[in-house]
Amino acid sequence: MRWARPILAKLGAAVGFVGGAFLARWAFLQLRRVTLTPTPYSTPPIGPEQIAPRQRRIIVSDLHLGGGDRLDDFDDDHAFAMFVDSYVCGEEPTDLILAGDTVEFLQVRLPDIDDDDYSEEAAERRIAAVIAAHPLVFAALARFAARPGSQITVLIGNHDFELHYPAAKARLAAAVGLSLGDPKIRFGVNYHGGGVYLVHGNQFDGWNRFVNFDGISEPFEVVRGTQLVKEVINDLEDDTLQIAPLLDNVKPTSAFFWYLVALPRLRNAASRRFFLRGLTGFMQVVAWPTPHQMPITGRGPGGMLSAPLFLGLWAWVASIRRQRVARQRLLSRQVSEVAGGLPPPDQVIDQVQSEAARQISREVRAFNDRYAREMRKIARQPEHRADRLFVCGHTHLARVVPLGEGQTYINTGTWTEIIYDVATMLRQEQKLPFLEIRYPEGDAPEGNLLVWIDADEPPQPWQEGHKLERRRRKIRLQ
CATH classification at residue 179: 3.60.21.10
94-99 and 185-188 strand pairing: unpaired
Question: Is-contact 125 171, C-beta < 8 A?
Answer: no
Task: Phi first, then psi: give them for residue 400, nearest 5 degrees.
Answer: -130, 115
Assess whether 226 and 151 both reside in one domain. no
Position 159 confidence tier, pLDDT thresholds 50, 70, 90? very high
- For position 14, what pLDDT does the model report? 52
Q: Among 281, 238, 301, which residue's Cα sits nearest to residue 35?
A: 301
197-219 mean pLDDT: 92
Distances (CA, A) of 123 to 33, 116, 172, 225: 27, 11, 11, 18
End-of-domain residue from the set 339, 354, 369: 354
Assess whether 253 and 203 both reside in one domain. no
Assess whether 167 and 45 both reside in one domain. yes
173-198 mean pLDDT: 96
- For position 466, what pLDDT does the model report? 44
SS3 content of the chain, % helix, strand, coil (to 5): 45, 15, 35
Position 300 confidence tier, pLDDT thresholds 50, 70, 90? very low
Q: Among 189, 293, 169, which residue's Cα sits nearest to residue 231?
A: 293
Q: What is the count of structural domains for the chain?
A: 2
Q: For residue 23, is it within any domain?
A: no
Assess whether 140 and 287 both reside in one domain. no
pLDDT in tens, 378-411: 999 999 999 999 999 998 889 999 999 999 999 9
The dihedral built from the CA positions of residue 297, 300, 303 and 306, taken in this order, carries a sign that is negative
Beta bridge partners of 446: 438
Assess whether 195 and 223 both reside in one domain. no
**Across all residues in the chain, what is the average pLDDT?**
79
Assess whether 339 and 365 both reside in one domain. no
Assess whether 102 and 198 both reside in one domain. yes
End-of-domain residue from the set 299, 323, 354: 354
* Between 107 and 321, residue with greater pLDDT: 107
Q: For residue 24, is it within any domain?
A: no
Alpha helices in 32-151, H assignment, sequence order = 77-83, 120-133, 135-145
Lowest mean pLDDT among 19-28, 99-108, 320-329, 399-408: 19-28
Task: Phi first, then psi: give them for residue 307, nearest 5 degrees.
Answer: -65, 155
- For position 473, what pLDDT does the model report? 39
3-class DSSP assignment, residue 215: strand
Cβ atoms within 10 Å of 113's Cβ, excluding its own: 16
Q: For residue 230, is it within any domain?
A: yes
Q: For residue 33, is it within any domain?
A: no
What distance in Å separates the CA atoms of residue 96 and residue 165, rounded to the nearest whole number? Answer: 22
Q: Is the pLDDT of residue 319 over 70?
A: no
Instruction: Return the percentage of the chain with pLDDT > 70, whole number.
Output: 63
Beta bridge partners of 427: 419
- For position 214, what pLDDT does the model report? 95
109-134 mean pLDDT: 93
Helix (H) or strand (E) holding 6: helix 4-31
Beta bridge partners of 217: 38
| Domain limits for position 248 | 219-354
Of 128-142, 365-379, 396-410, highest mean pLDDT: 128-142
- For position 207, what pLDDT does the model report? 86
What distance in Å separates the CA atoms of residue 108 and residue 373, rounded to the nearest whole number? Answer: 34
Q: For residue 382, is it within any domain?
A: yes
420-443 mean pLDDT: 77
Q: For residue 150, is it within any domain?
A: yes
End-of-domain residue from the set 354, 389, 411: 354
Instruction: Return the percentage of the chain with pLDDT > 90, whole number.
Output: 45
Assess whether 200 and 73 both reside in one domain. yes
Assess whether 132 and 64 both reside in one domain. yes
* Between 151 and 362, residue with greater pLDDT: 151
- For position 206, what pLDDT does the model report? 86
- For position 240, what pLDDT does the model report? 74
Task: Phi first, then psi: give them for residue 345, nearest 5 degrees.
Answer: -60, 145
- For position 252, what pLDDT does the model report? 64
Assess whether 213 and 100 both reside in one domain. yes
Q: For residue 324, is it within any domain?
A: yes
Question: Is-contact 425 246, C-beta < 8 A?
Answer: no
Assess whether 411 and 326 both reside in one domain. no
Whats the size of the chain, residue-wise? 478
Q: Supply the pTM of this predicted model.
A: 0.80
Assess whether 52 and 187 both reside in one domain. yes
- For position 161, what pLDDT does the model report? 97
Position 477 confidence tier, pLDDT thresholds 50, 70, 90? very low
What distance in Å separates the CA atoms of residue 127 and residue 135, rounded to the nearest whole number? Answer: 12
Task: Phi first, then psi: give them for residue 391, nearest 5 degrees.
Answer: -125, 140
Question: Is-contact 193 46, C-beta < 8 A?
Answer: yes
150-155 and 185-188 strand pairing: parallel
pLDDT in tens, 24-42: 545 555 555 667 888 999 9
Lowest mean pLDDT among 93-102, 271-280, 445-454: 271-280
Q: For residue 15, is it within any domain?
A: no
